[in-house]
Structure 1
């Protein structure tokens, strides 16, 4: 038999197989490259793309693509000028709406910026089969009757099943009138997200919504749990919600104060000033009435005490539960004997977040790790009694599963001790958040010499000291840990570094860490971060830095820069979110001995040009007296030195001549100004970038030759 010699080209595959292969590609840039190979591939790529985000100026109608007929998920929230109405009452608005409808006829999921009700009035009839809608608006609502924003949507989209208002500024009285006016739409909703309502829903509002939407499977709402307010959410409200919507699988009930970004006091006792009117017996009835729960968030911001009996019911009454977040729940796990109790009985949990639990101890944390052995994500915030020892034991027990950890505002866990406590999972953790709390740089250098040593296993004072007080698994891993300490320190996962004083210390490589989130108080430095134990992160791609505090009372920094240049040791770092939006300072003038916001921006941005960033989101600091975030001249000049940026999003405003600095960045192709802070300016006259100036900048940006 003679073998046939020939060359089989990838393009010889049947179109059906090529379409299947292309449909599995999700990266936008990769799909764009595929479409440039040949006309056949371009046609197949266009026919298999189901998700698209439009960018550009809404005045350029001729740039709207008409080759994506299979698009089902369309995002129109990022069109520029950002924050301006997409459609008005003119004839051109109707033409644009029909053009969008004809270009994307198969859309069933829509994300759109809605400045006024006229936008949905024109667009909703174009897509009557919409099933999911997400509305975006940060500006104050127009003076219109309650619910008028949603009436066009409910009138034309009879298949609507999901409504997301998490980024839509409206009032609490806007939602219920629209639901009452269209009871059929309300009854068909299975997803409702109203987390953006800053005032918070009262008890009667929640009950009206849940009674109008009995088939809800996912509900996310901002509430008022403080009993000092009229209409607070308490026992009866929770039980009624379970009775009105028994099919809920996802439930987020968050207090209005839970999103506060002020730097927490690490020395308080962890208890809120007031107790919530929620008893553990009512919690038990609440969980019993929702047997399909898979994800629960209860961030009450008021004390809920002795909750372990109710949390024990979650394992038996809610067997599908995979994610749990509790805020100001106390007594979640007693850990007084070898038998697990409380939340430790929820053995199916894959994600657990504990916030402001004042009486959670190391032994309770260990009991949780032994009971919830499937945890892949764990967050702990404001738990004052947790120590490095307890966190090390926790991560060691879960070393085979845990890949996402957040440690924040814990009194006994600063940056160095948090990283030491995570040594058992250094080689597998993928996402990490810590607070940049340094006792002092000198103390940090002293501790670095012993950073490779594992903390000793011991219990807190006042707890049981006998080995019988904890399960047998704990005693087993104590012996295992002693053997780990005696292992050879020259492992191939350790690297030698100099501490600057003639000595050497060893640090492990964080081999799989891809995302790092940091919270730091205003005036503190980022420079000690690599020395704390995060120097070797070969896979780190994204860093999110949030700076919180009032710089009006801060003296001039001793050093000229915050320390962004210290991140140059991460070779794969390409994305950064630098959030200075919670920094409060003097916008124009400052008293003697203080500096204004422009100099603070210089302090925080200096050194960013040395990083190989491709994407940057930047929130400028603000002056609360003028309620405005504006990019200063030093900030614009420093950002313009990032020579590799492709995407730059400034969450604030800027002058037009400052924006021209960015035209000198060769690969830059996506620049936006977003006033996504509340309350946003009421009209466009408070914004430096007008519609015409934004158009001029975009024209200049598009005229450049952009290397790919």
Structure 2
């Protein structure tokens, strides 16, 4: 060890001689937190410089421990502006609350007097303010208003942006707006409020803004996404929000567009009122938080082309627009042309259930194809969008770097290929979701013109074999397709489809692909991934896999049958994986004869994860039994996680038993693990489904942090 210290001192002498401005400049080139932390551990001078220049931090662990609260006075980050307190452990429990279940490691079973709790909360808040005096952007998990009552005054003069997180149910008995009242009352400099991951009622927003008109008028960014929202804002509340916040530049809100609902945002008056109240909007995202209606059940949304033309003319600074409806807006092409004229800065556009967006009936461009400045375009549930429409969009929107399509049933692989060919110089991100005549293999083949430059790919389509039975017979192409569709639609011919599939082997690799998202039906294996053309992705860093369906109806897998995670070992730099089984439904506790429970499905899906040597981070949503609200990590899943020795971060969106956590202590590289109940409704009484109580989690965290990280041989 002495030899190592001497070598380190000799090697760092040149660095220690650098002047302070140059040292800070060198440190400024390190943006990755791990790289900065390593540099700070090299010497005390770099440690001080890193603290003086750190701009953002996300706290994990428990900041209520004596080790954190009793740090020396010199421990300070004077330049830190972005602080994230939403991930502290135990995750989802209040940091500062009158009913805090975990105030520390040693006092979780003691009942404290309210005065003692208030004094403790004030002390914790004061320590945070002393360590981070210049916080301008704060993210925090708020189970009840008392957390903000203690934290908001700490950064009264500096706090400009706040993100609130809460997936648990809203505390009963709170008056309307009580969650936001401490923040609006104590933070006069507040300009941005993000509630996209905060569960509350839509009725809570208007009273809070009305009670503090000066704070509401000062807001410029307001995200009212409301996690787990099952309803949206009616027209009266949307108008009241806009009237209270006239200086908004960004507004995100779920709205009720269904004409059958009372006070829904139908007709043109609601949109005109919104535009007149907030004329400076640059980002406007209005969506309907309901399940998509089938084509036969859709009605007219009541928004006319004339109203949209006036609406766009009143928002000349608009750059990002989302109107995601579940009911139809008919003949929208003139409105899109008015958007191009009235909003020349428009770059990001998302439209849902807008029909007639681009007819492409003549050589000239029409509809959305005339919006030549678009950088991102997402089209959902447009039933008359054809291959010719995509070709016209490719000719007119030459700057598109991101294109997404969902639920457009007339589009075929020929249209995707024509769009990709036209946008080859620019297109980097593609998303193709739930289109009737598009299959995964066909989509991959159609994207061949941009295969060497695409960076992000999301496909949510049915899987189809690359060489289908009946496609090639006697040397001729004989692919059969549905013959019950209208004759005027443009579909890909059988010969072209088969030729695209046979040409897969001649394509180049996905040289620039860094992010991949796939959808598979329940019980389906991952092996078609390679055969579909995704065998060569040298730069793939992140993969997201969504499994959906009823596992109770799937055949019982054989002992040797596995999902196929080992196939992902072909991607040499794969570092992050999201495996989402949240919509895979099965039996949690008992299963009838001939069926298996979810523990065996965990084994099926996670087998082979140990072969992913480069995997650094895993985001796992266990399968569930909706009948008992059971989303838990099983013993086979924990045992398979333990075998993946390279994992450093594990995030489980569910619960587990305390004695299962001992398996994670045997993973040598594991540094961070969290159990997140970030699904709604998150269980209020954890003892109903798990033994993992807050104090149990804190004990596990202490054991994890005290694990030896290096062996004696590694030091030498």
Q: TM-score range by the shorter chain?
A: 0.7 to 0.9
CA offsets, 1:86-105, max 9 Å, x none? Answer: 11230211110111111110
Deviation at 1:272? 5.2
Distance 1:676 1:504 in 2: 40
Look up the match of 2:201. Answer: 171
Contact 2:588 2:630 in 1 (8 A): no
Instruction: State yes or no: 1:157 paired with 2:187.
Output: yes
Contact 2:288 2:326 in 1 (8 A): yes
Task: Name which of 82, 97, 117 aligns with 2:145.
Answer: 117
Distance 1:298 1:623 in 2: 34
Instruction: State yes or no: 1:629 paired with 2:631.
Output: yes
Look up the match of 1:82. Answer: 91
Q: Which moved more, 1:675-684 or 1:399-408?
A: 675-684
CA offsets, 1:664-685, max 9 Å, x none? Answer: 1100010110100001112343
Task: Name which of 142, 165, 172 aligns with 1:136.
Answer: 165
Look up the match of 1:145. Answer: 175
Classify the secondary structure of the residue corresponding to 1:316.
helix
Contact 2:164 2:197 in 1 (8 A): yes
Contact 1:541 1:575 in 2 (8 A): yes
Q: Which moved more, 1:436-445 or 1:204-213?
A: 436-445
Contact 1:61 1:96 in 2 (8 A): no
Deviation at 1:17? 3.3
Distance 1:178 1:504 in 2: 58
Classify the secondary structure of the residue corresponding to 2:197.
strand
TM-score, length of structure 2 as denominator length: 0.87
Classify the secondary structure of the residue corresponding to 1:443.
coil
Task: Name which of 217, 230, 241 aligns with 1:198.
Answer: 230
Look up the match of 2:314. Answer: 289
Look up the match of 2:290. Answer: 257
TM-score, length of structure 1 as denominator length: 0.88
Summarize the alignment of residues 178-217 of structure 1 with structure 2, pairs less than 5 Å apart: 178-196=208-226, 197-217=229-249
Distance 1:361 1:603 in 2: 40
Instruction: State yes or no: 1:568 paired with 2:569.
Output: yes
Classify the secondary structure of the residue corresponding to 1:693.
helix
Task: Name which of 474, 485, 488 aligns with 1:462.
Answer: 488
Look up the match of 1:369. Answer: 394
- Structure 2 unaligned blocks of 5 or more: 1-11, 99-116, 476-485
Contact 2:540 2:573 in 1 (8 A): yes
Contact 1:198 1:222 in 2 (8 A): no
Look up the match of 1:107. Answer: 135
Look up the match of 2:410. Answer: 385
Look up the match of 1:33. Answer: 38
Classify the secondary structure of the residue corresponding to 1:300.
strand
Contact 2:434 2:461 in 1 (8 A): no
Distance 1:421 1:222 in 2: 35
Contact 1:287 1:314 in 2 (8 A): yes
Look up the match of 2:369. Answer: 344
Deviation at 1:107? 0.4
CA offsets, 1:266-287, max 9 Å, x none? Answer: xx7x565222111111111111
Look up the match of 2:61. Answer: 56
Deviation at 1:622? 1.4
Instruction: State yes or no: 1:243 paired with 2:276.
Output: yes
Deviation at 1:574? 1.2
Pair 1:110–1:572, CA change in 2 (3 A):
same
Instruction: State yes or no: 1:587 paired with 2:601.
Output: no
Task: Name which of 106, 124, 132 aligns with 1:96.
Answer: 124
Distance 1:461 1:20 in 2: 66
Distance 2:552 2:270 in 1: 43
Deviation at 1:442? 6.0
Look up the match of 1:519. Answer: 519
Look up the match of 1:312. Answer: 337
Runs of 4+ in structure 1 off by over 4 angstroms are: 7-13, 444-447
Summarize the alignment of residues 268-287 of structure 1 with structure 2, pairs less than 5 Å apart: 273-287=298-312
Look up the match of 1:329. Answer: 354
Contact 2:64 2:124 in 1 (8 A): no
Distance 1:674 1:49 in 2: 27
CA offsets, 1:394-424, max 9 Å, x none? Answer: 1011111001001111122211100011101
Contact 1:309 1:342 in 2 (8 A): yes
Look up the match of 1:407. Answer: 432
Contact 2:451 2:511 in 1 (8 A): yes
Deviation at 1:37? 2.6
Distance 2:468 2:704 in 1: 49
Instruction: State yes or no: 1:698 paired with 2:701.
Output: yes
Classify the secondary structure of the residue corresponding to 1:529.
helix
RMSD of equivalent CA atoms: 2.5
Distance 2:505 2:182 in 1: 65
Deviation at 1:321? 0.6
Task: Name which of 384, 392, 409 aligns with 1:359.
Answer: 384
CA offsets, 1:14-67, max 9 Å, x none? Answer: 322332342342211111122123222222121111100000024424236733
Distance 2:16 2:384 in 1: 64
Classify the secondary structure of the residue corresponding to 1:328.
strand
